[in-house]
C-alpha cells in the first residue's frame, strides 16, 4: 500500500434484505429465504470474496419497528430475525478468513452465556469471532424477561435528566458486562489443558481461575466452562452516537462504530474518544474507529442509487432516514468520500447496504476494485484471525503467572 493512499479497513453490517425497510420488495431480493441458512452463507460468502475485514449481524430482543423506541403495527416490512450468534456459528465452517461479529443485546442476557457463546464461535471459526455489544431501554423488551422494568420515556430527549440517568446506567452496565466477559475468556490459561492419556491428566486445575467480579448488576465467580478462545480475546465492538457510548468504546472496545456527517465531525469524534481512552488508562491500546454509512450505489448501465432509494421510499410511503450518513452515488464517489474521511483519524468504515444483493455486490466488486486501484485496500487476506486482520496482537492472559 502506498504512503499516499493508506489502506482502509472495510466491514459490512448485514440486516435482513437490506437497511431500507422496503428492500425486501426488490425484484432481486430473497424474502422467502431470510430465515434459511443458505441466505446468510451466500451473503457472508460474498463479503469474504470482497476481502472485507468482517461482517456484523444485527439482532434484537423485540420485533423490528419503524419507530425507534416503540412497537408498530406495520405489516408491510420485514419482521422477525434469526439469532445472530447462531447465524455466525452456521457460517463459520464454510468461510475461512472473514471476521464474524454478531450483535448481542447485553441488557437482558447474562455475560456468562455470551462469553461462552463467543468463545465457542472463536473455536468454530478458528479465530475469527467478535461481539457487538448493544443496550436497550424499551419497556416491551424488558417485559419478555420480567427481571427489570423501564419507564416509557422519549429516549431522543437529550435534555431530560431521567433519560440521561438511564442512558448512563445502561452504558455503565455494558462496560461491566464486557469486563466480565473478558475476564471469563481469560479464566483458563492457554496451557490449562494437558490431555495426557499416559498420565491420565486432562487438565491442570491450577490454571483455571475464579474471576470474582462484583458490580452493581453482576456478581460472577467463574471460571468459564470453555477454554480460552483461539484469539485469547475475541474482538469487542460497540456503536456510539454521543459522549456516553463513546466512553464505553474508549473503556471497553477494540472497535467503535461512529456516525459522523462529514470529515470535520469525524475528526471531532475521534479526538473525543482518544481523550476518553486516556482517561480510562488505555492510551496505549489500539481502538479502531469505523464510520458507519448507509449506501445505495449506482448500478453500471442501470439504475442509480438515488433512483433506487427514491423508488423504495415511495414503496415505504415515507423517506428513509438513518442515524448514519446516507450515501447515494458511484463506487468512485464513495471511494473519494472514504479516503477523505479516513484522513480524519478513522481506521475504516462499516457500510450498511441499502438493498441486498445490489448494494452488497456493489461494495464487494465496484468499491473494492476502486480502492484497490488506488492502493487503498488489500488484494488478499494477510491473516487468518480477525485480530490479525486489524493488526491487533494476541493479548496476554491477565491471570497467567510468569
Q: Are 238 and 248 in contact (CB under 8 A)?
A: yes
What does the alpha-carbon distance between residue 171 and residue 298 come to, in Å, rounded to a whole number? 38
Q: Which of 37-46, 152-161, 356-365 has the lowest mean pLDDT?
A: 152-161
> Residue 257 is placed in which grid cell?
462504530
Q: What is the DSSP letter of 365?
A: I
Q: How would DSSP label each residue in 108-173? A: SS-HHHHHHHHHHHHHHTTS-BEEEEE----HHHHTTT-S-------TT-TT-HHHHHHHHHHHHH
Assess whether pLDDT exceeds 50 at residue 226: yes
- pLDDT band at 4, cuts 50/70/90? very low
Tens of pLDDT, residues 252-271 = 999 999 999 999 999 999 99
Assess whether pLDDT exceeds 80 at residue 363: yes
**pLDDT for residue 3:** 42
Tens of pLDDT, residues 101-132 = 999 999 999 999 999 999 999 999 999 999 99
Q: How would DSSP label each residue in 46-61? A: HHHHTT-SEEEE---S
> Residue 262 is placed in which grid cell?
462529514
Of the CA atoms within 13 Å of residue 25, those in its CB half-sphere come to 14
Ordered structural domains, the chain, with CATH? 9-173+224-389 (3.20.20.30)
What does the alpha-carbon distance between residue 158 and residue 167 come to, in Å, rounded to a whole number? 10
Q: What are phi and psi of 196, to 5 degrees?
A: -100, 105
Mean pLDDT of the chain: 95
What does the alpha-carbon distance between residue 76 and residue 54 come to, in Å, rounded to a whole number? 30
Q: Which of 302, 298, 294 is nearest to 320 (CA)?
A: 294
Assess whether pLDDT exceeds 80 at residue 393: yes
3-state secondary structure of 321: coil
Tens of pLDDT, residues 127-154 = 999 999 999 989 889 899 988 888 888 7
Tens of pLDDT, residues 210-223 = 999 999 989 999 99
What does the alpha-carbon distance between residue 372 and residue 75 come to, in Å, rounded to a whole number? 42
**pLDDT for residue 316:** 95
Host H or E run for residue 9: strand 9-14
What does the alpha-carbon distance between residue 117 and residue 132 come to, in Å, rounded to a whole number? 13
User: Which residue did the predictor score with more confidence, 28 or 67?
Assistant: 28
pLDDT above 70: percentage of residues in the chain: 99
Q: How would DSSP label each residue in 203-265? A: E-GGGB----EE-SS-EE----SSPPPTTSS-EEEEE-SSHHHHHHHHHH-SEEEE--SSHHH
Beta strands in 269-347 (DSSP E): 288-297, 325-329
pLDDT above 90: percentage of residues in the chain: 87
Q: Are 362 and 12 in contact (CB under 8 A)?
A: no
**pLDDT for residue 149:** 86
Q: Which of 76-80, 119-123, 274-278 has the lowest mean pLDDT?
A: 76-80
Q: Are 246 and 269 in contact (CB under 8 A)?
A: yes
**pLDDT for residue 5:** 60
- pLDDT band at 402, cuts 50/70/90? low
Tens of pLDDT, residues 169-196 = 999 999 999 999 999 999 999 999 999 9
**Residue with cell string 473455536:** 123
Contact residues for 74 (Cβ-Cβ < 8 A; gap 6+): 65, 66
**pLDDT for residue 2:** 40
**pLDDT for residue 157:** 79
What does the alpha-carbon distance between residue 305 and residue 287 come to, in Å, rounded to a whole number? 32
pTM for the model: 0.96
Mean pLDDT, residues 65-77: 83
Assess whether pLDDT exceeds 50 at residue 360: yes
Assess whether pLDDT exceeds 50 at residue 326: yes
3-state secondary structure of 103: strand
**pLDDT for residue 125:** 98
**pLDDT for residue 154:** 76
Amino acid at each position: 500500500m502506498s504512503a499516499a493512499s493508506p489502506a482502509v479497513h472495510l466491514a459490512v453490517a448485514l440486516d435482513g434484505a437490506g437497511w431500507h425497510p422496503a428492500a425486501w420488495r426488490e425484484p432481486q431480493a430473497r424474502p422467502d429465504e431470510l430465515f434459511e441458512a443458505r441466505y446468510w452463507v451466500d451473503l457472508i460468502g460474498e463479503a469474504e470474496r470482497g476481502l472485507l475485514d468482517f461482517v456484523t449481524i444485527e439482532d434484537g430482543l423485540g420485533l423490528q419497528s419503524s419507530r425507534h423506541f416503540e412497537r408498530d403495527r406495520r405489516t408491510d416490512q420485514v419482521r422477525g430475525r434469526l439469532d445472530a450468534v447462531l447465524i455466525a456459528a452456521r457460517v463459520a465452517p464454510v468461510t475461512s478468513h472473514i471476521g464474524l461479529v454478531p450483535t448481542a443485546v447485553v441488557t437482558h442476557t447474562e455475560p456468562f452465556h455470551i462469553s461462552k457463546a463467543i468463545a465457542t464461535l472463536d473455536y468454530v471459526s478458528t479465530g475469527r469471532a467478535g461481539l457487538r455489544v448493544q443496550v436497550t431501554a424499551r419497556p416491551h423488551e424488558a417485559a419478555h424477561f420480567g427481571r427489570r422494568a423501564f419507564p416509557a420515556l422519549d429516549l431522543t430527549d437529550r435534555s431530560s435528566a431521567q433519560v440521561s440517568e438511564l442512558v448512563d446506567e445502561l452504558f455503565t452496565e455494558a462496560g461491566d458486562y464486557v469486563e466480565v466477559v473478558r475476564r471469563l475468556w481469560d479464566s483458563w490459561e492457554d496451557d490449562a489443558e494437558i490431555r495426557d492419556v499416559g498420565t491420565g491428566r486432562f487438565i491442570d486445575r491450577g490454571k483455571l481461575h475464579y474471576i470474582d467480579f462484583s458490580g452493581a448488576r453482576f456478581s460472577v465467580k467463574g471460571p468459564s466452562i470453555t477454554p480460552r478462545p483461539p484469539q485469547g480475546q475475541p474482538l469487542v465492538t460497540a456503536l456510539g452516537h454521543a459522549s456516553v457510548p463513546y466512553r464505553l468504546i474508549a473503556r471497553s472496545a477494540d472497535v467503535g462504530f461512529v456516525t459522523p456527517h462529514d470529515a470535520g465531525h469525524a475528526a471531532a469524534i475521534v479526538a473525543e474518544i482518544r481523550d476518553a481512552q486516556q482517561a480510562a488508562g488505555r492510551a496505549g491500546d489500539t481502538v479502531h474507529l469505523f464510520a458507519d454509512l448507509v449506501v445505495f450505489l449506482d448500478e453500471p448501465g442501470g439504475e442509480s442509487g438515488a433512483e433506487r432509494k427514491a423508488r423504495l421510499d415511495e414503496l415505504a410511503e415515507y423517506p428513509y432516514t438513518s442515524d448514519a450518513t446516507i450515501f447515494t452515488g458511484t463506487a468512485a464517489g464513495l471511494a473519494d468520500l472514504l479516503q477523505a474521511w479516513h484522513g480524519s483519524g478513522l481506521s475504516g468504515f462499516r457500510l450498511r447496504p441499502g438493498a441486498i444483493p445490489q448494494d452488497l455486490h456493489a461494495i464487494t466488486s465496484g468499491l473494492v476494485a476502486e480502492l484497490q486501484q488506488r492502493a487503498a485496500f488489500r488484494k488478499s487476506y494477510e491473516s487468518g484471525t480477525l485480530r490479525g486482520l486489524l493488526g491487533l496482537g494476541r493479548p496476554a492472559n491477565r491471570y497467567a503467572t510468569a
